[in-house]
Amino acid sequence: MNKFIITMTFLFMSIISLSAQLEGFNAMKDVESFKTQMSKEAVSTTSISSDFVQKKYLSFMEDEIESSGVFKFKKDNMLRWEYVLPYSYTIVLNGDKVSIKEKGKKVNEFDMSSNKTFKKINDLMLDCVRGTVLENDEFDLEYYESKDNYLIHLLPKAKELKNMLQNVYIYFDKSDYQVSSINMTEESGDYTKIIFKNKQLNEKLSEEHFMVK
């Protein structure tokens, strides 16, 4: 009986979450045109610089945890997440190498290929920002649109991903086909939402941005 109640509770939470994400959206009318345009944008985008705001909800806390910082991407597989507020924390991904810096000092470095689940999550983030998420076969995809945005709903297929992620929602601005926000919901109901602001495309980014010393 308890298992049934728990199962129904998670199902109910999933329905509420999905309804909230899809409010104002309808099924995408022309998916093939969207895919074609996304492919063009992915090819032409060599770098992205952006401010970001991250909101994280944990079930054992009353309020969301909000942090902000600067995000940088350089084609093909370099990412830099630099948290500025409320703390100083930087994560740099360069190829399969992950480096972490806290309060101005490098605190960790490891090879991402040694952790398959972490690598899958990283590949997802890379696919999101470089516009190749439609080619990620680790997820089933559903397509929606509103007046100003496209929305892709990703449902993980593999068990190891399902154990971490229940749903992923990626919002694209219709004006430039760039990602405006990402919302990742965990099996527990906890979620992380990342909102990108002041985005700059195809700037020259030094290799030093993707090194941690």
Specify the CATH number for the domain of residue 78: 2.50.20.10
* Structural domain range at position 8: 2-210
Q: Strand (E) positions, the chain?
A: 26-27, 47-57, 65-74, 78-85, 89-94, 97-102, 105-111, 139-145, 149-156, 167-173, 179-185, 191-201
Q: Do 106 and 213 form a contact (C-beta atoms < 8 A)?
A: yes
Element containing residue 123 per DSSP (H, E): helix 116-130
Is the predicted pLDDT of residue 145 greater than 90, yes or no? yes
Number of domains in the chain: 1
3-state DSSP assignment of residue 184: strand
| DSSP bridge pairs for 50 | 71
Kindly state the average pLDDT of the residues 139-145: 94
pLDDT of residue 15: 40
Is the predicted pLDDT of residue 186 greater than 80, yes or no? yes
Q: Using 50, 70 and 90 to split pLDDT, how confident is the model at 54?
A: very high
pLDDT of residue 108: 87
Most confident region among 47-51, 75-79, 131-135 by mean pLDDT: 47-51
pTM across the whole model: 0.83
φ, ψ (nearest 5 deg) of residue 36: -65, -45
pLDDT of residue 21: 65
